[in-house]
Amino acid sequence: MKKTVILVLAAAALAACSRQDGKILARVGPEKITEGYFDEKLSEISPAAQEYLSSKAGRKQFLDVLIHERLMLIAARGSKVASGGDYKSRIREKEAEMKKDLASYKDFLLTRMWIEDLRNGELKVTEDEIRDYYGKYPYKVRLAHILMPSYEEADKVMKKLKAGADFDKTAKEYSMDKDAVRLPPVMYGEFMPELEDMAFKMKVGETQGIVKTAMGFHILKKLGQDKADLASSADRIRKILEKKKFDAYLARFQEKNKVEVLDEEYK
């Protein structure tokens, strides 16, 4: 059991130096292991081993692991591997990767904080706006859809449906989106804009199409329509209105910043 614990701890101990504060527990050559470092490394161990490590014997054994790990690191630093081309090459690769990751994280964090700032300003949605929107669009609709890659193929499917073919079975056989034939209930503003008006104007049980979107060619069947409860739908409506305001904000910004797709394949 103790040998297994030692192996687990040794695998978990990291080579990188960390906090060096607090009482000095051990010296390993020119370096020291402090209480702060000990506790930090201890916190990285799985909860299953924590009970054993909380004992005096367990803590002593864990310190032995850290000493052993530090001895290995000091020996490695003084070896020919440390000055070798392969090691330095891998470090350069990792540094380049970390630099790229940091740049991506900085962009992500800046964008997220900018959006949060907008939410407290230009995108802020009032309770009156939520009530007004609910007054205009109080319903949720349930839909099934068939998605085809071309108008011609969608037309063939539509003819089968008009001839009496079962919608679900036909969708499972032909649709590009076989795993999502029946869609989650949507409120107005949550669905694809090209399909939204049609979906809400259709009668329950009715099938309509063919409508082109960026995804392909759609055929819709309306399965149901229910009036939503304002209290339980307020957050959904808030997100819908936020998105509308954000889309309008971005459209105004784009007017001042020219966007041009240069590759013909993407136009």
Write 30-35 long-range contacts (CB < 8 A, 24+). 30/74, 31/70, 31/74, 33/63, 33/66, 33/67, 33/70
Residue 199 has pLDDT above 80, yes or no: yes
pLDDT of residue 48: 81
Q: Alpha carbon of 72 to those of 10, 15, 41, 69, 182: distances in Å?
A: 11, 9, 17, 5, 59
pLDDT of residue 178: 84
Which CATH entry fits the domain spanning 137-229: 1.10.10.10, 3.40.50.2300, 3.40.50.10860, 3.10.50.40?
A: 3.10.50.40
Average pLDDT over residues 118-127: 94
The tokens describing 23, both together, are 């009482």
Where in the chain are all domains bearing CATH 3.10.50.40?
A: 137-229
Residue 1 has pLDDT above 50, yes or no: no
Residue 5 has pLDDT above 80, yes or no: no
Residue with the bigger pLDDT between 59 and 100: it is 100
Q: Please tell me whether the overall predicted TM-score, pTM, comes out greater than 0.85 for this model.
A: no
